[in-house]
Structure 1
């Protein structure tokens, strides 16, 4: 069993704990929150007695082998840095960091302390994403792809009311591109590698953050169109187009449909496998395997997907003058 702690007590931490426990490879032994009440309430659900409101104290806990960090984006760097220096394996919710400089420093620290640093891109570990990857060759030469993740957020109602929730706050390194856009972008990188270039046409909010928009990734011989948004909803499927046909998915995450439309016969074949009962289960299973098996090669491949994805989103933001507070005044 890998003894682990969570930093952050929101719904995503709850989902990860449930999935981790389902694997029988993880055991929650500590909970951190900025408020003692939140930490205790979360811990009580899982019969955990060790709670912390000080990160230094969590870092000194000898029982904790790994830490799952699901705090606001702008806090990932400082919290992960402290845990890595303390010798803990770290799982960072996406986006791993706000900037490329932060990313490189954290991964250098992880290597220095011989611990794993993994970004929680859960969707690329799903069984049907793997089905998609394995069957790309059926398409023959690839002509293009459309990858969508656009879902109206209830937090946008707060924006319309004149408020700035964390997910849309530049102070907390928010915006649709780094919240939902990373899903299709990371999927494209996992499928096709790094693009030659990229452009973004965002819907800008009054505070300068992006609410959504359309991205085009240039792969030379083909392009990938990405629609990602928290201010409107897309009902369209995600598709990859090739000379021999089209691969069709219901989305880029929680995939339960992978079908192949034969270009010549017009026949459709369904290749999907049953989804996992919990949508973080495959990620939790793979991360446990990597950590317990010391699979540095697998970790390095995931690191490269994360590095490329962050480089893309950083470039797209800068093209459109979307600047996080942590990037101002010469900060990282």
Structure 2
């Protein structure tokens, strides 16, 4: 029995590929790149970097729902399906030379964490290996290291100690990607239009803990979503082949949390910084005494040092890191102002 190809998956979903008549996968050009997570915060920007930057990349994107602008001038072959459905993944990588796996589940359902971050990753990587894919890029997270403080840590300098189902399953997914010869990317905090966690969480925290948090001295690994997307596209399609392995992919220069809050306040996204300066134990006590959605673990991620050295990946890809996430915030400020104050 032959494996079902992307055209078969599309017929099951009753949608055509490339906005036209569904076709067979015979003779697919080896330049095809398979992308998951193409409609997400990071994935949508990566898709743009791959298709709008003059790279000429033909993308086959597995999505649950084809977006309204699904045409993208014929450069994207949309395949409707759920990553956790074996039928949707089977044959997805046929004729492709690159797989970029950006999809993940970051909610509180442990069953879905396992299904998406582990089982689906295992199935996709098996398909990539079977199809003889040349490059694999897999998005993970620096949260696999667990609680800080971490200052200037290189890859695996300390053992991974995930403390949540999300980070535990994403670490488990890494193992399958590494077996497939992937470049595994571990970003820290990601900023930019579409961010529904970092800056919204900061808004809640500055209200619950209205002071400088331990002097605002914490150093954080951060990256602008556009810069991260640009790097992903270069690693996936650039002329320089980045050796398989695990890499931190934040901006090389860490961000001081006090500076982050000041810039967001200057752009009118957050209220002005308070004059009070509380030591970390006092900040934690205040957080515990005020109800809210942001957990103590999440406060730790942004209020204490979580800085991971990331120079290597930018150098290997020969891709400039850009001016840094604080400089990029001006571009996202309006998006944040329209959403953070009234909830996302």
Would you say same fold, with TM above 0.5? no
Q: TM-score range by the shorter chain?
A: 0.3 to 0.5
Q: TM-score, normalised by structure 1?
A: 0.40
